[in-house]
């Protein structure tokens, strides 16, 4: 199944992965709690900047990391590009 949720989940764990757990089998669901909110944002037509701001909030406020702004900008653009 190639739903938007599955695509977002894959991008979050394989490419965004701010805490570096993509190679740990037991941690493949680490970012799943963020998938529904991001999918809602994408379906609502939110911009790259809005998705980027949300990812940065997750990185800084929820996870407690400084993160990589340029990497997160690329991930936000990729997520927005998942919808036609």
Residues 3-51 have pLDDT tens digits of: 999 999 999 999 999 999 999 999 999 999 999 999 999 999 999 999 9
Banded pLDDT at 67 (limits 50, 70, 90): confident
pLDDT at 1 over 70: no
Q: Two tokens at 35?
A: 């998938």
Q: What is the mean pLDDT of residues 54-73?
A: 95
For residues 47-80, one letter each, b for 16 or more C-beta atoms within 10 angstroms of the residue's C-beta and e for the rest, the string is: ebeebbebbbebbeeeeeeeeeeeebbebbebbb
| pTM assigned to the model | 0.93
User: By the 8 A CB rule, do 21 and 30 touch?
Assistant: yes
Q: Please report the pLDDT score of residue 84 as a whole number.
A: 78
């Amino acid at each position: 199944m190639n739903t938007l949720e599955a695509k977002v989940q894959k991008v979050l764990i394989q490419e965004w992965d701010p805490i570096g757990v993509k190679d740990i089998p037991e941690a493949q669901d680490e970012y799943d709690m963020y998938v529904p909110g991001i999918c809602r944002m994408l379906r609502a037509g939110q911009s790259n900047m809005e998705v980027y701001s949300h990812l940065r909030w997750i990185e800084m406020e929820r996870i407690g990391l400084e993160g990589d702004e340029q990497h997160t900008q690329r991930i936000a653009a990729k997520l927005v590009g998942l919808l036609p």
